[in-house]
Structure 1
Amino acid sequence: MPMKGSGASELTVVDRFDGGVGWIAYPDETMQRASHAIESDGGLWLVDPVDVEGLDDLLEEYADPEGVAVLLDRHKRDAATIANRHDVPVYVPEWMDGVVGDIDAPIKRFDRRLADFDVIRLIDNPLWQEAALVDGETLVVPESLGTAEYFRAPDEPLGVHPMLRILPPRTLRSYDPDRLLVGHGEGIFEDVGRTIRRAIDGSRRTALPLYLRSVRELFSNR
């Protein structure tokens, strides 16, 4: 199973809810890169999207695209391709560095608000810049939390990113949304607030089992 898929893609719909939908373009890849389209403030916002055949047909049942949002400095993905196809800008947090120069599309910056979302400045350091979105019902976390297998220790439905296990993003403990959308794997739609808190509170304790499993899988695939 490749870490990241390429070439011919296969649209797999996940996270469908009133006013939004998620998809995974390469369901067999290890990274399980998930993208989302969310209606907000009268328009459709595409979050960290990976392009896939059939995407535009999927989006037709929602509002017209208003913009493409990049929430993680490493998640440029297919933002420019999709934005140019729909004639909308790519929105990047104004404090996020090293992203704009790699996106060949019109750029707009945002800070504390994007449409009806509050913007959380989740991580901002020279190695990692990540924003999250929250509007009361939906919380979007592109990287710090995930449900893809390599995020999760055994028996965990949701995990903290392996590189953040020792110092997890504790600010996320205060949110109790109806749904959590993540950038890797399917979202969480039940008991969301408690699931987030359990993932964060247990991140150090479950780090070693996660790392050991990752090492075993690495050697078994050689």
Structure 2
Amino acid sequence: MSPTLDVVDRWDGGISWTLEEDSMHRTSHALGTDAGVWIIDPVDAPGLDDELDELGDVAGVTLLLDRHKRDSEVVARRHDVPVSLPAALGPVADELDAQAERYAGSLPGTEFRTVRLTNNRFWREVALFDADRGTLVVPEAVGTNELFSTSDERLGVHPVLRLFPPRQALGGLEPERVLVGHGPGVFDDAAAALRYALGNSRRNAPKLYAQAALTPFK
């Protein structure tokens, strides 16, 4: 049975989607920019291209986390664009069965600047932030599904990063919306939700770990 596309967020200039019945709530994004539509960490499903057509021409596909290759190769080939990688994710190019290009500083043709979060051989992650649009995209360091957040948090830090959250990288940002790689985005007072997530990451860690222990594996 083909996966069913589920658009979880829609705003002026973009969409976020996941697949129904995906227990990990793997979430992808399409951002309308002056350069065209950029697709981020995509999962593919019937109906996706119809949604993208509503936003404009596809400018490219980019990955922000080394583990989020997902369906990027399929989507990139279908739209005849390369998979673009921020400099920190350069080594991922060797793992792709698709043309790959690298960029540094900002997403090509846009005002989305790269924000390096984690860069080691186990975890390479970059966020994107456009201050004028008020959009922050964080693929893994923070999320909104039950694996990331407690009942007190609208946005939560990844369990592995709870004791050492990326405060230096993200703490000074004031986004109007935060888009994440697992779960719906945060659109209501997003800057406050981000500050709370980073500031209370350690304090809320025991509650999150206890919650995870009681959550049945799916």
Range into which the TM-score falls when normalised by the shorter chain: over 0.9
Secondary structure, aligned partner of 1:9 = coil
Residue deviations 1:182-202, cap 9 Å, x none?
A: 000000001111110101111
User: Is 1:147 aligned with 2:144?
Assistant: yes
Query: Which residue, out of 74, 78, 101, partners 1:85?
Result: 78
Counterpart amino acid of 1:210? L
Q: Which residue of 1 is the match for residue 187 of structure 2?
A: 189
Give the TM-score taking structure 2 as reference length. 0.93
> Structure 1 CA distance, aligned partners of 2:95 and 2:135?
29
1:97 deviates by 4.7
Counterparts of 2:49 and 2:84 in 1: how far apart (Å)? Answer: 20
Match for residue 112 of structure 2 among 113, 117, 124: 117
- Equivalent residue in structure 2 for 1:65, among 43, 58, 61: 58
- Whole-angstrom distance in 2 between the partners of 1:157 and 1:28: 21
Cα drift, residue 149 of structure 1 = 1.0
3, 7, 16: which one aligns with 1:22? 16
* 1:100-152 deviation per Cα after TM superposition (whole angstroms, max 9, x unaligned): 12211111101111122111111111211100001111000000010011101
Q: Say if 2:37 and 2:58, in contact at 8 Å, map to a contact too.
A: yes
1:12 is matched with 6
Which letter does structure 1 place at the counterpart of 2:101?
A: K
**Alignment partner of 1:168 is 2:161:** no
Q: Which residue of 2 aligns with 1:179?
A: 177
CA RMSD of aligned residues (A): 1.4
Among all aligned residue pairs of Structure 1 and Structure 2, give the percentage whose two residues are the same amino acid.
47
Following superposition, the deviation at residue 77 of structure 1 comes to 0.5
Which amino acid letter does the alignment assign opposite residue 120 of structure 2? N
Mark the runs of 5 or more structure 1 residues left unpaired by the alignment.
1-6
Q: CA contact under 8 A between 1:176 and 1:193: conserved in structure 2?
A: yes
Is the Cα–Cα contact under 8 Å of residues 33 and 50 in structure 1 kept in the other structure? yes
Asked if 2 retains the 8 angstrom alpha-carbon contact of 1:37 and 1:45, the reply is yes
Q: How many pairs does the alignment contain?
A: 213
